[in-house]
């Protein structure tokens, strides 16, 4: 384990149990979200790459309208 993580855990151990539980749930939730994002990216990576290529080509041909932040 890296030193900054050891330091963080040492500080967390000093907190009341309810705060420790809250932080643990938060960290586990974030790890689950990262896993879900990674799985989704792997599953749809080729589609996203094609979409990016299509939009980039349209922009290069001048087919993408300019956006006005006031219209968003």
- pLDDT, residue 3, reads 97
Q: Which residues touch 64 (CB under 8 Å, ≥6 apart)?
A: 55, 58
Residue 56 corresponds to which tokens in the numbers above?
């980039």
Rounded-to-integer distance, Cα 36 and Cα 43, Å: 10
For residue 65, what is the DSSP state? P
How many structural domains comprise the chain? 1
- Domain presence at residue 64: no
- Cβ contact 62:55 at 8 Å: no
Is the pTM value of this prediction over 0.75?
A: no
**Count of other CB atoms within 10 angstroms of residue 20:** 14
Determine the average pLDDT of the residues in 9-25. 97
Question: By residue range, what is the domain housing residue 42?
Answer: 3-57
Tens of pLDDT along 32-55? 999 999 998 888 888 988 999 999
- Domain presence at residue 42: yes
Rounded-to-integer distance, Cα 2 and Cα 19, Å: 23
């Amino acid at each position: 384990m890296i030193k900054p993580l050891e330091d963080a855990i040492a500080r967390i151990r000093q907190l009341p149990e309810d705060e420790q539980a809250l932080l643990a749930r938060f960290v586990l939730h974030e790890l689950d979200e990262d896993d879900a994002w990674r799985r989704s990216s792997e599953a749809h990576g080729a589609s996203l790459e094609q979409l990016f290529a299509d939009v980039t080509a349209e922009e290069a041909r001048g087919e993408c309208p300019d956006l006005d932040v006031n219209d968003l």
